[in-house]
Amino acid sequence: MTEPKSPNAHPGCRHFPLCGGCTFLAHTYVEECYRKESHVRDLLTPMGCRVERILPSPRQDDWRHKVQLPFGKIRSGKGHLPTLGCYATGSHDVVDQKECRIQDKALSNIAWTIRDWASREKIPVYDERTGSGYLRHLLLRKAHSTGEILVGLVCNGPRPLHYRALLKTLLPACEKALRGTDGKLAGIVQDVNTRNTNVVLGGEEVPWWGRNWIKEKLGPYSFHVELSTFFQVNPYQTPHLYDLAKAAVPHGSRALDAYCGMGTIALWISDKASQVLGLEENPRSVQAARAAAKANNVANVDFACGDVAEMMPKLAHEGWDVVVLDPPRKGIDERTFASLLESRIERIVYVSCNPKTLARDMELLHEVYRPLYANPVDMFPRTEHVETVAVFQRR
């Protein structure tokens, strides 16, 4: 394909609105916050929920510390060259991205450098229609507190036999890309994904160089973040989001942290709750959460690995006082609802990244749980997304 042109390129970004990312780029930040807050208010006030003022992000640009981009092809003479960027809105055409104002600068430098490296090394790009080719996605993570960067190459096949030769050109290129930034390369790993699927990671990790994790600090707690473990992507706003959740956890309570990822909320509330149990289905996240609790000397926190829906029926009758729910965008499933409604849990602190499913779930909880208030939080400036912390009390 040839590079699609943005129909109305904006002075703030040459890829707007084609890339579909920064829906609010043409608005002031005040207007964006007002619209996001109104959206949450329109959805939740009909159910008697008080909606507080939105918490704006301390930073509107360069905030994204995780980058996940597909490789594509761009016509060049008689052949094709690798390109890298997001999908153009409503298609699987890859925009040849040259800039992204919401991405951390060091990550942007590395991303474009790896595209050029792949082009120089003539590494074939995966074609989802034929299943041929090799490079599928580039995944980058940066730890805000340490500057450490993890590079993940998602490839359609095993590690190349000549990967050491490839490293001889890749490492200096990355080093050059990071000059003048606060980023430093901590590791390069390959994820093998040979399936014909839209799921980005295949799950089999192969080392290329360095570590398969980066060290990140949130408040007083440190974590080892890997390619596949969930970690909030806006480090400037995450502590504020977690503070709002913590404010709603009663002192001395026994708390569940459901959908806990690497246990970041569990640790954050551990000095206020008497006991915390985190629930998470990704075994690597649970491993990382247990390691973090140990490394940070937090003794009143434990983690269980499995589906929340499977674990909740038993936990619902074990005398927990409060549950923090931080589900994926689709919200809470029916079985988890049934357990919550039958439980004796007094308080629900619902951290939602999708106001529509939050509104649906508020309606389903309504007979048993009274919504006290909801606080929109802008975790994703310039995009259409908004996070909300909603607090419920058993009637």
Task: Point out the residues that are catalytic.
Answer: 353
Q: Are 1 and 73 in contact (CB under 8 A)?
A: yes
How many residues does this entry show for the chain? 395
Residue of the chain from 280, 321, 361, 378 that contacts ligand SAM (CB under 6 A): 280
Nearest distance from residue 367's CB to ligand SAM, in Å?
24
Residue of the chain from 328, 344, 356, 393 that contacts ligand SAM (CB under 6 A): 328
Size of the residue set binding ligand SAM (CB under 6 A): 18
Whichever of 74 and 143 has its CB closer to ligand SAM, that residue is: 143
Residue of the chain from 103, 193, 285, 375 that contacts ligand SAM (CB under 6 A): 285
Q: Is 282 in the site for ligand SAM (CB under 6 A)?
A: yes
Whichever of 82 and 261 has its CB closer to ligand SAM, that residue is: 261
Nearest distance from residue 244's CB to ligand SAM, in Å?
12
Q: Find the part of the chain contacting ligand SAM (CB under 6 A) among 178-186, 198-206, 305-313, 314-322.
A: 305-313
Residue of the chain from 326, 361, 378, 387 that contacts ligand SAM (CB under 6 A): 326
Helix, strand or coil for residue 153? strand
Q: Are 103 and 67 in contact (CB under 8 A)?
A: yes
Q: Is 261 left (phi over 0), alpha (psi -120 to 50) or beta?
A: left
Q: How far apart are CA 98 and CA 79, in angstroms?
A: 21
> Which pairing describes strands 79-84 and 66-76: parallel, antiparallel, or unpaired?
antiparallel
Whichever of 156 and 234 has its CB closer to ligand SAM, that residue is: 234
Whichever of 111 and 288 has its CB closer to ligand SAM, that residue is: 288
Q: Which of residues 227-266 bind ligand SAM (CB under 6 A)?
A: 230-232, 259-261, 264-265
Q: Which of residues 306-325 bind ligand SAM (CB under 6 A)?
A: 307-309
Nearest distance from residue 360's CB to ligand SAM, in Å?
17
Partner residues linked to 73 by β-bridges: 82
Partner residues linked to 369 by β-bridges: 394
C-alpha torsion sign, points 144, 146, 147, 148: negative
Nearest distance from residue 120's CB to ligand SAM, in Å?
36
Nearest distance from residue 239's CB to ligand SAM, in Å?
11
Q: Is 389 in the site for ligand SAM (CB under 6 A)?
A: no
Nearest distance from residue 326's CB to ligand SAM, in Å?
4
- Give the DSSP per-residue string, 40-106: HHHHHGGGT-EEPPPB--S-SSS-B-EEEEEEEEEEETTEEEEEE-PBPTTSSPBP-----TTB-HH
Q: Are 100 and 383 in contact (CB under 8 A)?
A: no
Taking CB atoms, the residue at the shortest distance from ligand SAM is: 261
Whichever of 1 and 309 has its CB closer to ligand SAM, that residue is: 309
Q: How far apart are CA 126 and CA 155, in angstroms?
A: 8
**Beta-carbon contacts of residue 287 (< 8 Å; ≥ 6 apart):** none
Nearest to 340 by CA among 360, 363, 365: 365
Whichever of 203 and 328 has its CB closer to ligand SAM, that residue is: 328
Partner residues linked to 217 by β-bridges: 222
Nearest distance from residue 30's CB to ligand SAM, in Å?
27
Whichever of 260 and 273 has its CB closer to ligand SAM, that residue is: 260
Q: Is 380 in the site for ligand SAM (CB under 6 A)?
A: no
Q: Are 192 and 126 in contact (CB under 8 A)?
A: no
> Which pairing describes strands 204-210 and 184-192: parallel, antiparallel, or unpaired?
antiparallel
Nearest distance from residue 60's CB to ligand SAM, in Å?
21
Whichever of 331 and 381 has its CB closer to ligand SAM, that residue is: 331
Q: How far apart are CA 21 and CA 26, in angstroms?
A: 12
Residue with tokens 């908004």: 386
Q: Are 121 and 55 in contact (CB under 8 A)?
A: no
Q: Which residues sit at the interface with ligand SAM, rule CB under 6 A? A: 230-232, 259-261, 264-265, 279-282, 285, 307-309, 326, 328
